[in-house]
Chain A
Amino acid sequence: MNAEPTAPESDPTASRGPRLTRRAFLATGLAAGGGLLLTLRFVERAAADEATIAAYIKIAPDGIVTITAKNPEIGQGMKTTLPMLIADELDVEWRNVRVEQAMLDPVYGAQFAGGSLGTPLNWIPMQRVGAAARQMLIGAAARRWRVPRAECTAKAGVVRHASSGRTLTYGELASAAAALPAPDLDSVTLKTPDEYTIIGKFTGGVDSARVLDGDPLFGIDVTLPQLSYALYAKSPVFGARLVRANIEQIKALPGVRDAFILRAREPDAAVKMGLVDGVAILADKWWDAQKALKMLRAEWSPASAPDQNTQAFEREAARLAGSAPQAVIRRDGNVEAALARAAKVVQASYAYPFLAHATLEPQNCTARVKPDGGLEIWAPTQNPGPGAKLVARTLGIDAARISVHMTRVGGGFGRRLSNDYMVEAAAIAQRAGRPVKLLWTRPQDMQHDAYRPGGFHYFKAGLDAAGKPMAFRDHFVTFGQNGQVADSADLPSEHFPAGYVANLEYGRSLIQLDAPTGPMRNPGGNALAFAFESFLDELAHAGGLDPLKLRLALYGPPRVLSSAATRFGMKIPPFDTGRARGVLQLVADRSGWAQRQQLPAGTGLGLAFYYSHFGYVAEVVKASVDREGVPQVHKIWAAIDIGRQIINPAGAYNQAQGAILDGLGQALHPAITLQDGQVVQSNFDTYALLRMHEAPAVEVHFLRSDNDPTGLGEPALPPVLPALCNALFAATGRRIRALPIDPRALRRAGA
């Protein structure tokens, strides 16, 4: 649920990706300088003309294997993980593998980092690439030796003929293998897990040593001959038009090479993260451009949006909550009647703020006009395909003439599914007629994001005599633009506990928002989990039930709820209540949940579970508060079921721990607020992120169920927010119903 990147400008489904249902063929050729060049060609069973090449392998005569990583690397580890899958089935030693980042190219299919989809979409296809190549190398050896292929085996880059003891290296065989017909990928046999040599092994990131050497890997590090640095000044009020600016004064400033005005070319460009009105300032040095920016005097219309205030939003939410929802999302049974006969009725409202992605590398992009009038772009983007299309559409350039280099990305979190910085750099380079590196200042970055939308939940639930929920209602007050729900601001109709409580209503009302919103790491879930899993904890306490046992009772006995849905061409795994129960019980065991009453007064455990991106995650937080009411998180336990195989434990534990601490930080600190249409916060002094001294130990356990592996970038994040708030309730008796946590609400409970 709510897993996919939903930004209209950035939907990865817009470009066709490799489909697991596709018939795949291999095409081969000689690599430059000799050796095997293996390309995997996926062909739709019904449409052979939609062929895409999904990956390739180059084997040099010296046995060094170069594997292309097709997706952007944003810290999620795919530049390491996907080549591991190929290399293991190819059966080469990892130390002989070199990894190259692909450019944006239709031959690779969809190239994006989003939705925790890198693993589930590529797990089988990448292994098949490697297995097919190994099969071809064995075939080449068998032919050379004139023996049956079945008598030959491949291991660690060498093909061996068992009975004669003869061997040939992959490097020696590569050219001959390239001349062989490629096997049908559906027919290749994959290894069994006990045969893995790379999958499942702790494997460090392929770029890490270069990052620590200071090599130019990130977008911000790109250099070109005759490069100018650019800043682009936009209205602090979203969607405002530029009336006038002191362009001539800016152009006369020291170091400034040029300054000009660009105009939005699409309606709603501000909420669609396209090119909006602004002033471009070009200088030979970025610092000079930054100094010139401070001298810019621009007049915008409107200069203010009086209804766009955080406090006004809060008043409007309370007003809307007093009426019936504007829209019904889901209605099961009869909530009103069930509430009337409930043994106990519980009511509570929850609120959470807008958030900025705050990637540590500010948005940036480098672009130059090619001699043919096309553009060459270097972008730290999660979603290069839609970015190129945005540039093409905005500037009137054929997308085929736009080349996109994917740089390493200094943090994604969904921010770089949008490509506003790309179209800005392209438009500036086109207008200036020279290579340009656009680099936003931190305040620009914080004040021009596609924000995680804030929201308000007005819950009412009825419990039966045994304490089990028999009625559940949520009036969700969220944000919209002109009557449409804002990006990533909706409540899915299937959201838990829908389907598990007989009488249930989800309703929705909208507050008009002018600011853009967009997916942030676990869109929807990062906010909904806090509200729903906290309220569920309230219900457990109100009904006198153990919060663990209430969840187990709601999910019921282990069973698989069938699903015929597909997404990105992939069959959606069905929801399995047994997997939910499994992680709940595991995290309870590891955290000492059953013994929680023995904790000292003022210390509590809190539990939460969330299913998202096909991952089942239960977390327990142990917390207290200090004398000032500041939460003190002692430790966090997580139990995670993402299938039978952890491909790279190095990345997996890191992702899980990082996502959990990311969520912890969201609970403790940051909020984006609006005043008269402008974002108030501008830097990390007013928008705080989690720091070292606030980061507790995080103990992660993977529960290996017999399911294909799924992604881990996002699913571990949501449960920590409600688990923390539930722990604070256990510790203090005070319920947190608004984020970020206000220590004043907890102060007098201090130990």
Chain B
Amino acid sequence: MRFSILVNGTRRTVDEDADTPLLWVLRDDLRLVGTKYGCGIGVCGACTVHLGGVPVRSCVIPVSAVGAAPVVTIEGIGESEWGRKVKQAWLDLDVMQCGYCQAGQVMTATALLASHPHPTDQDIDQAMQGNICRCCTYTRIRAAIKQAAGLPTVDTREERS
């Protein structure tokens, strides 16, 4: 079947089975490989993209469900103000180790900041817990989100006893 989807502001047409996940349309049809395959069941977050401005797991979204909602991937997120700030904070704080999860982390973090421009540590915990970082760069991810928001990067949860 042919599907017309809007990806990073450009209309793209693909010939795919209706059940093909958006992830594989992006990676193998459109060669947008920044979005990663991690689990295939929507629990690791490596494949996170924005669909209609909302972070979703593209590995479990059939291409037929995309419809008219705009898709934004890591390749396009830098076009938005929050996306640009988040990417810059990620570089300034040298967040990544292997880097494989980081596209998904950036996509989720950008959506968080778009809805919560001054996130608390609890906001960050809640928004980011769907994204696994196997290298466990969580300390830097937390700090980078705050830096992108213009907040002090100190961890306010430290002495909660």
Contact with B along A406-432 (1 / 0, CB 8 A): 001111110000000000000000000
Which chain B residues border A75 with CB–CB below 8 Å?
Answer: 96-99, 135
- Is A138's beta carbon under 8 Å from chain B? no
- Is B39's beta carbon under 8 Å from chain A? yes
Cβ of B78 and Cβ of A662 under 8 Å apart? no
Q: How far is it, in angstroms, between the C-alpha of A698 and the C-alpha of B74 when the chains are bound?
A: 29
Cβ-neighbour of B98 out of A229, A411, A634 (below 8 A): A411
Cβ-neighbour of B132 out of A220, A664, A684 (below 8 A): A684
Number of interface residues of A (CB under 8 A): 71
Which chain A residues border B66 with CB–CB below 8 Å?
Answer: none
Q: How far is the CB of A204 from chain B (nearest CB, A)?
A: 4
Cβ of B137 and Cβ of A654 under 8 Å apart? yes
Q: How far is it, in angstroms, between the C-alpha of A599 and the C-alpha of B159 when the chains are bound?
A: 11
Cβ-neighbour of A211 out of B41, B102, B125 (below 8 A): B102
Q: How far is the CB of A563 from chain B (nearest CB, A)?
A: 31
Q: Given the interface contacts A665-B136, A692-B129, does A77 sit within 8 Å of B97 by beta carbon?
A: yes
List residues 42-96 of chain B with CB under 8 A from any CB of chain A: 43-44, 46, 73-75, 78, 87, 90-92, 94-96
Q: How far is it, in angstroms, between the C-alpha of A204 and the C-alpha of B91 when the chains are bound?
A: 7
List residues 625-643 of chain A with CB under 8 A from any CB of chain B: 634-635
- Is A213's beta carbon under 8 Å from chain B? yes
Closest to B35 in A: A214
Q: Given the interface contacts A220-B37, A287-B20, A442-B40, does A411 sit within 8 Å of B160 by beta carbon?
A: no
Cβ of A662 and Cβ of B136 under 8 Å apart? yes
Total A-B residue contacts, Cβ distance less than 8 Å: 196
Cβ of A360 and Cβ of B126 under 8 Å apart? no
Which chain B residues border A215 with CB–CB below 8 Å?
Answer: 34
Q: Given the interface contacts A205-B96, A215-B34, A624-B161, does A697 sit within 8 Å of B155 by beta carbon?
A: yes
Q: How far is it, in angstroms, between the C-alpha of A543 and the C-alpha of B96 when the chains are bound?
A: 45
Which chain B residues border A285 with CB–CB below 8 Å?
Answer: 20, 24, 28-29
Which chain B residues border A695 with CB–CB below 8 Å?
Answer: 136, 138-139, 142
List residues 427-477 of chain A with CB under 8 A from any CB of chain B: 439, 441-442
Closest to B41 in A: A683
Cβ of A207 and Cβ of B99 under 8 Å apart? yes
Q: How far is it, in angstroms, between the C-alpha of A697 and the C-alpha of B31 when the chains are bound?
A: 38
Cβ-neighbour of A220 out of B33, B124, B134, B139 (below 8 A): B33
- Is B11's beta carbon under 8 Å from chain A? no
Closest to B74 in A: A214
Cβ of A654 and Cβ of B36 under 8 Å apart? no
Closest to A635 in B: B158
- Is A243's beta carbon under 8 Å from chain B? no
Q: Given the interface contacts A358-B134, A690-B136, does A697 sit within 8 Å of B44 by beta carbon?
A: no
Which chain B residues border A74 with CB–CB below 8 Å?
Answer: 98
Of the A-B pairs whose beta carbons lie under 8 Å apart in the complex, a sample of 13, sorted by A's number, is A75-B97, A218-B36, A360-B38, A360-B133, A361-B98, A413-B134, A442-B38, A442-B39, A442-B41, A654-B95, A654-B97, A683-B43, A685-B39
Additional A-B contact list (10), CB under 8 Å, known A214-B73, A214-B74, A690-B136: A76-B97, A212-B78, A286-B24, A287-B21, A362-B37, A362-B38, A442-B41, A651-B94, A655-B97, A685-B43
Kindly list the 3 A-B residue pairs having the minimum CB-CB distance in the complex, ordered from nearest. Answer: A214-B34, A75-B98, A410-B100
